[in-house]
Amino acid sequence: MKPPLRIAIAGLGTVGAGTVKLLQQNAELLAARAGRPLLVTAVAARHRGRDRGVDLEAVRWFADAAALGRDPEVDVVVELIGGSDGIAREVVAGAIAAGKHVVTANKALIAHHGTALARAAEARGVALLFEAAVAGGIPILKTLREGLAANNVTRIYGILNGTCNYILTAMRETGRDFVEALKEAQELGYAEADPSFDIDGVDAAHKLAVLAAVAFGSAVDFAGVHVEGIRHVSALDVDFAAELGYRIKLLGLARLTRDGLEQRVHACMVPRSTPIAHVDGVFNAIVVEGDFVGRIMLEGRGAGAQPTASAVVADLLDIAVGRWSSTFTVPASALEARPSSPMARHVGAYYLRLMVVDRPGVIADVAAALRDEQVSMEQMIQRGRRPGEAVPVVLTTHETEEAAMRRAIARIDRLDSVLEPTRMIRVENL
């Protein structure tokens, strides 16, 4: 049997401890599959005395995580600290410079610095792997790099944030509004005390930027992602979606257009008949469309100690057997810096909800605003009559350009009869 793969882990939070547990619990299985033992020989963490439920007696401790990354007695460094800059970036960059392989679960780091780090790793001849950075235990990056390597990917999209998916599922199943569903998610540990990173779409945007780079052989372009969250989605919208045959999901979507790489994260109306509409709770799902394979969907747990540790150790196993090549699907030197496709050029259908004063002429004024921007209405819902009072009116449109839709909404919102900003959700007929 070959000498052990000596592993250093920077960060012993839930994922770090879960990774150590997996490596220890399945040590014989992993050694048999790798042809060599996978041993944790060093760790870096702030609190040495904390009980993490794993045996750390035989490992060397580092107070300085950056020094851990340069340790000559280590073959691979696992970065589980998090954050796009600071110590996490220092650990990874230092390890690569020292000729160490690197595995990370840090989506923010890869979204912001993935291209530069991949080029550095390629120059040093070491692996930079990050399966755990996107969708937890779902092996989507490995699928793109290996199983779908013969395909031109035409589109990739999915549910990339379990917190938002849980909130939207709870709103649909219980009738609760957003604030109540968020509070429940926090009480259950699915949402942080400050949930903005999740509910404002940033977490999903980090993951989408990484997915798009791997899927399309592009330089990672987080700045090019159009990002919206789910704060504006109300229980009323969820009810209307059901009436219209849709469910609301926060999706990340990417594709190549004639204008460049389109990357967008926002709430979507998806037909209830599509498989992704039935992915509920904290689960994630990703759909890939390829020119030869057609459409495939992967579903699973997108976060948590065990699924994420599973992805980390899968990367370690690949390094142990020498089963790795490019960080992305092409050499880092060949990654294309594609232009961002402007959101204003996006073409699609739209759901609009207006709160209006119930009086004659209101619908005619709204229709005129749509007509003048060449936006074609598909259907309309108005529940009951309450003359002189506020009522919701829901419209769906045929496909139109986003810029025209935005202009029409601006005109609608200036009408005296419209009492609050129009709520818009894009319709995705997947």
Which 3 state secondary structure label does DSSP give 74? coil
Yes or no: say if 215 and 144 are a contact pair by the CB < 8 Å rule: yes
Label residue 65 exposed, middle or buried (CB < 10 Å: 0-12, 13-18, 19+). Answer: buried
Quote the CA–CA distance of 181 and 169 in Å, as a whole number: 9
Quote the CA–CA distance of 303 and 347 in Å, as a whole number: 32
The total domain count for the chain is 3
**Taking Cα atoms as reference points, which of 338, 337, 151 lies closest to residue 258?**
338
313 is a domain residue: no
Quote the CA–CA distance of 295 and 275 in Å, as a whole number: 11
392 is a domain residue: yes
Q: 235 and 162 in one domain?
A: yes
CB atoms within 10 A of CB 418: 21
| CATH number of the domain that residue 81 is part of | 3.40.50.720
Quote the CA–CA distance of 251 and 277 in Å, as a whole number: 11
In the chain (430 residues long), the average pLDDT of successive 10-residue segments reads: 92 91 95 95 82 79 88 94 92 96 96 96 95 93 94 97 96 96 93 94 97 96 97 96 97 96 98 96 96 96 89 96 86 89 96 91 93 95 77 95 97 94 95
Q: 94 and 147 in one domain?
A: no
286 is a domain residue: yes
How far is CA 24 from each of CA 8, 53, 430, rounded to the nearest angstrom? 14, 11, 43
Quote the CA–CA distance of 351 and 105 in Å, as a whole number: 36
How far is CA 364 from each of CA 358, 361, 374, 385, 417, rounded to the nearest angstrom? 12, 5, 15, 16, 11
186 is a domain residue: yes
- End of a domain among 133, 156, 176? 133
Q: 293 and 208 in one domain?
A: yes
Q: 16 and 117 in one domain?
A: yes
Yes or no: say if 104 and 82 are a contact pair by the CB < 8 Å rule: no
pLDDT for 23: 95
Tokens of 54: 């794993």
Quote the CA–CA distance of 216 and 156 in Å, as a whole number: 10
Which 3 state secondary structure label does DSSP give 415? coil
Q: 417 and 389 in one domain?
A: yes
Range of the domain at 406: 346-427
328 is a domain residue: no
What stretch of H or E contains 244? helix 235-244
- End of a domain among 133, 149, 179? 133
How far is CA 99 from each of CA 4, 121, 385, rounded to the nearest angstrom? 17, 8, 72
Q: 150 and 89 in one domain?
A: no
Q: 269 and 184 in one domain?
A: yes
Report the predicted TM-score, pTM, of the whole model to 2 decimal places. 0.94
How far is CA 346 from each of CA 18, 349, 395, 399, 407, rounded to the nearest angstrom? 42, 10, 19, 10, 14
- Across-strand partners of 298? 286
322 is a domain residue: no
249 is catalytic: no
Q: 290 and 152 in one domain?
A: yes
| CATH number of the domain that residue 339 is part of | 3.30.360.10
Q: 24 and 66 in one domain?
A: yes
- End of a domain among 90, 105, 133? 133
| CATH number of the domain that residue 391 is part of | 3.30.70.260
Helix 107-124 and helix 202-216, axial crossing angle in degrees, nearest 10: 30
319 is a domain residue: no
Q: Which of 100, 107, 142, 207 is catalytic?
A: 207
Q: 217 and 102 in one domain?
A: no
Yes or no: say if 60 and 7 are a contact pair by the CB < 8 Å rule: no
Q: 273 and 161 in one domain?
A: yes
Tokens of 371: 């007509």
315 is a domain residue: no
Q: 170 and 112 in one domain?
A: no
